[in-house]
Amino acid sequence: MTFYLYENQNPNAPIRSNGLRFWGQPQRRTPAPQIIVVHTAENLPDFTPPDTGAESIARYFATTSRPVSTQSVTDSDSTIRLLPDEAVAYQVRNYNTISWGIEIATQAAKWRDIPAWHREALMRRAAAECARVATRYDIPVTFLTRAQVDAGVRGFTGHTNLDPTRRTDPGFTPAQWQQFLTYVHEAKGAATMPTPPDLTQPGEVFHDAWAWAEQNGIVNEHTDPVDDVQKQEMIAFLHRYHTKVVEPALAAASLGLTLPFDSQITGNVRLTTPLE
Ligand SMILES: [Zn+2]
């Protein structure tokens, strides 16, 4: 196995303990990564075959004077391994030593605008490379929040999840995370998918939020609002919605599940008139 950054040493990087010039370190303290971190490289996506995105990103990492690198880069038709899986790449502030990183050769803000065939090809190729690493190190195909990463849980996350004030990549919506992790499952050849929980049953997430709203006179038995909703009620409801619906949706998405409600809600709730 050859690695692009070992074959094409970066003249602007320091010499490392293995005698090669690159941004990174040859070995993690423990060879197995805890997490797989997904990025977009922010190059202009290349829709005209052959896709040269990954090749140009690889050249960038082999020449840049910025201390940045990654283990692998993929585009719609190629996969380039830049550093060994057990090396440390400089790809995510504060988490480099526990992570394995992949750069997808597109822009975080472009997923919705690019042609569907290109989007699927980008995702499937990156998913196949992630599946290889997940299989090698037995990493669960599960989406993780930063809190879960900090708690030592193993799985997948995005650059923005670990560095939210500075980064937006890979720019996946919850539905796109679900799609991506489904592709990882498929690439791993998983025979069966887990059964989704029935969220409408008592004790399950969505049911509890509605029951609470009904008990508090916010909605009637048809889940229609009874009256004007007060600010405290709205805050409590949104909080419950987040902890009982959004977070489980992300967790379920990581298992490739489809939930019986729309989990594609992102961003902030904006009020046109202030609540009293
Ligand atoms: Zn990134």
Tell me which residue of 194, 141, 185, 174 sits closest to 253, measured CA to CA: 174
Give the Å distance between the CA of 224 and the centre of ligand 1: 42
Burial of 190 (0-12, 13-18, 19+ CB in 10 A): middle
pLDDT of residue 109: 95
Give the Å distance between the CA of 122 and the centre of ligand 1: 16
pLDDT 10s digit of each residue in the chain, 276 long?
A: 899 999 999 999 999 999 999 999 999 999 899 999 999 999 999 888 899 999 999 999 999 999 999 999 999 999 999 999 999 999 999 999 999 999 999 999 999 999 999 999 999 999 999 999 999 999 999 999 999 999 999 999 999 999 999 999 999 999 999 999 999 999 998 544 444 445 556 655 556 666 777 777 777 776 677 777 665 666 666 666 667 667 777 777 777 665 544 444 333 333 334 443
User: In whole angstroms, what is the distance from residue 50 CA to residue 149 CA?
Assistant: 37
Give the Å distance between the CA of 148 and the centre of ligand 1: 19
Q: Report which DSSP code applies to 100.
A: E
Strands (E), the chain: 35-40, 72-74, 79-81, 99-104, 155-158
Instruction: Name residues whose C-beta falls within 8 Å of residue 200's C-beta, 6 or more positions apart in sequence.
Output: 206, 207, 260
pLDDT of residue 195: 44
Give the Å distance between the CA of 166 and the centre of ligand 1: 9
Give the Å distance between the CA of 161 and the centre of ligand 1: 10
Give the Å distance between the CA of 102 and the centre of ligand 1: 9
CATH 3.40.80.10 is the classification of domain 4-191? yes
Tell me which residue of 88, 83, 87 sits closest to 3, measured CA to CA: 83
Give the Å distance between the CA of 268 and the centre of ligand 1: 23
Ramachandran sector of residue 146 (left: φ over 0; alpha: ψ -120 to 50; beta: rest): alpha
pLDDT of residue 214: 77
pLDDT of residue 236: 67
Kindly list the domain boundaries of the chain, sorted by start residue: 4-191, 197-276
Give the Å distance between the CA of 30 and the centre of ligand 1: 23
Give the Å distance between the CA of 91 and the centre of ligand 1: 6
Contact 72, 81 (CB under 8 A): yes
Give the Å distance between the CA of 68 and the centre of ligand 1: 10
Contact 123, 183 (CB under 8 A): yes
Give the Å distance between the CA of 138 and the centre of ligand 1: 23
